[in-house]
């Protein structure tokens, strides 16, 4: 039987109090809508449809790469009306799974179990849970035989119904022919004057259509986001879930509550991550690495047995084995380090490549720089790579020793095994194997007096 997934993403999200559409707010570095589409993509569906409305062009413009069909709901007339907009695109037979873009913590395995309920005799399956505090959620009603007969929304429930703790998650699975029959019958005589999708449960019960329910094991999966407080709560749930996976795979975390993964993070064996580390984009950490406190790694690949000392920022870098970086280092996009390199405190790199065993230990800027192996960059050295209009290359060959407080005016090449004396300003190519210094005669002004404040 074919499977078609409808993701409801048309809500305005007034309670967010932001100009950004609710479904574009991020969870773990990805928008909530992306998170739900990622899960839907694991279910081998024949089609995924996103119903959008409020801020629709903004949503589509931000996520043009999603593997979905976009369906516009011109007027937001309720969840039932939203699903009805997709019906003309569906085949005559098959299943429909309805998800919500503001319920981003749902997992594929849970949905697979719900879908399985709708094979065979059951025509309609709903995902439910039991909450001690079900405020704001639809309650599940049963008839005298104990069978599900309806769902009543919070705003429409009476005092007795509001005491019910069995709630509807907003996620259901139904047969396409049934939806074609039920959706035109939805009424708007409710508190919000909308076509509720939940009314199909009562319609199914009146017809005698079998209804099955699946009680979710982990209620956090159906946590809905309606405001920024709930978004933060969902973020913590998501981060804890990822932290647990890391620890169970052998990664040691100093504190599982103080790590933020805002993308994808893959770690080797015997990795230790200290507090307040943030990982963005795609990050790969090799075996035996140590990440000290307060580091940010964005789109970084680390080799094995590297140490990233505290308060360092790595962005768009490829790092070899046994490198030491920081503390207080900033490696910008285009930086590559071969094995056993050292980038020390207050060193910044950009489009810089360092060969094996090379080091810049203190207070340097290396931009548009190609550095060979076994090179020492002295403290205070900078490459002057920008002339106000264009960037220029500095090449430092193997075995070079650059003394402290040196300025390399690009384009310039320093030959193999050359030595540059401290305090030099290098404007011309430096010959290999030679000592190059900049001589400035030291001058003493006798009798000079330092100015004094009045």
pLDDT per residue over 353-402, tens digit each?
999 999 999 999 999 999 999 999 999 999 999 999 999 999 999 999 99
Residue 118's pLDDT is 82
Q: Which CATH class is domain 3-222?
A: alpha beta
Cis peptide before 327 (omega within 30 of 0): yes
SS3 (DSSP) at 21: coil
* Rounded-to-5 percentages of helix, strand, coil across the chain: 20, 35, 45
DSSP-assigned states of every residue in 359-374 = EEEES-EEEEEEE-SS
CA distance 280 to 61: 22
Q: Encode 95-158 in three state secondary structure.
A: EEEEEECCCCCCCHHHHHHHHHHCCCCCCEEEEEEECCCCCCCCEEEECCCCCEEEEECHHHCC
Give CA–CA dist 166/114, Å, rounded.
Answer: 17
Closest CA to 382 of 431, 424, 320: 424
CATH ID of 228-436, from 2.40.50.140, 2.160.10.10, 2.60.40.10, 3.30.360.10: 2.160.10.10
Alpha helices in 173-298 (DSSP H): 176-182, 199-207, 228-248
**Active-site residue set:** 362
| pTM reported for the whole predicted model | 0.90
Q: How far apart are CA 280 and CA 268, in angstroms?
A: 17
Domain boundaries, the chain: 3-222, 228-436
In this prediction, residue 122 has a pLDDT band, given cuts at 50, 70 and 90, of: low
- Within 8 A by CB and 6+ apart from 300, the residues are 283, 284, 314, 315, 316, 317, 318, 319
Instruction: Please state, in angstroms and rounded to a whole number, the distance separating the CA atoms of residues 184 and 170.
Output: 19
Model pLDDT, residue 197? 93
- Residue 71 in 3-state DSSP? strand
Percent of the chain past pLDDT 90, that is, above it, reads 82
User: What would the mean pLDDT of 436-448 be, rounded to a whole number?
Assistant: 89
Q: What would the pLDDT profile of 219-240 be if each residue is shown by its tens digit?
A: 999 999 999 999 999 999 999 9
261 neighbors 28 (Cβ within 8 angstroms):
yes
Statement: residue 123 has pLDDT above 90:
no
Dist. CA 454–CA 452, nearest whole Å:
6
Q: What percent of the chain has pLDDT over 70?
A: 99
pLDDT of the residue at 120: 67
In this structure, the strands spanning 124-130 and 166-175 are antiparallel
């Amino acid at each position: 039987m074919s499977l078609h997934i409808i993701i409801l993403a048309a809500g305005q999200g007034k309670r967010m109090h932001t100009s950004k559409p609710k479904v574009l707010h991020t969870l773990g570095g990805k928008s909530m809508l992306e998170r739900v589409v990622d899960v839907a993509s694991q279910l081998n569906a024949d089609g995924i449809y996103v119903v959008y409305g409020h801020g629709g062009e903004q949503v589509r413009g931000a996520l043009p790469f999603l593997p979905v069909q976009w369906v516009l709901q011109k007027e937001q007339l309720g969840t039932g009306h939203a699903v009805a907009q997709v019906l003309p695109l569906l085949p005559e037979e098959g299943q429909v799974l309805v998800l919500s873009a503001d319920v981003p913590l749902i997992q594929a395995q849970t949905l697979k179990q719900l879908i399985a309920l709708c094979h065979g005799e059951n025509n309609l399956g709903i995902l439910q849970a039991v909450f001690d505090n079900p405020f704001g959620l639809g309650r599940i009603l049963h008839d005298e035989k104990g069978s599900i007969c309806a769902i009543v929304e919070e705003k429409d429930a009476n005092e007795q119904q509001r005491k019910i703790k069995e709630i509807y998650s907003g996620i259901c699975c139904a047969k396409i022919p049934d939806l074609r029959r039920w959706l035109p019958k939805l009424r708007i005589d409710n508190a919000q004057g909308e076509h509720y999708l939940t009314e199909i449960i009562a319609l199914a019960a009146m017809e005698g259509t079998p209804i099955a329910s699946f009680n979710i094991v982990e209620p956090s999966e159906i946590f809905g986001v309606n405001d920024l407080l709930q978004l933060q709560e969902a973020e913590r749930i998501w981060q804890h879930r990822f932290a647990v996976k890391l620890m169970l795979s052998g990664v040691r975390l100093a504190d599982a509550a103080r790590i933020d993964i805002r993308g994808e993070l893959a770690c080797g064996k015997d990795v230790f991550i200290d507090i307040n580390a943030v990982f963005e984009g795609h990050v790969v950490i090799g075996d035996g690495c140590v990440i000290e406190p307060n580091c940010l790694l964005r789109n970084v690949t680390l080799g094995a047995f590297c140490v990233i000392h505290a308060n360092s920022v790595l962005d768009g870098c490829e790092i070899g084995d046994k490198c030491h970086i920081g503390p207080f280092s900033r490696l910008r996009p285009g930086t590559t380090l071969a094995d056993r390199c050292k980038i020390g405190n207050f060193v910044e790199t950009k489009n810089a490549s360092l060969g094996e065993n090379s080091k810049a230990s203190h207070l340097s800027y290396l931009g548009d720089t190609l550095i060979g192996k076994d090179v020492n960059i002295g403290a205070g050295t900078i490459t002057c790579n920008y002339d106000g209009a264009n960037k220029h290359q500095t090449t430092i060959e193997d075995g070079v020793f650059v003394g402290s407080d040196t300025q390399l005016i690009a384009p310039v090449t320093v030959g193999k095994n050359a030595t540059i004396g401290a305090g030099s300003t290098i404007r011309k190519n430096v010959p290999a194997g030679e000592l190059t210094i900049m001589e400035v005669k030291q001058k003493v002004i006798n009798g000079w007096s330092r100015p004094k404040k009045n």
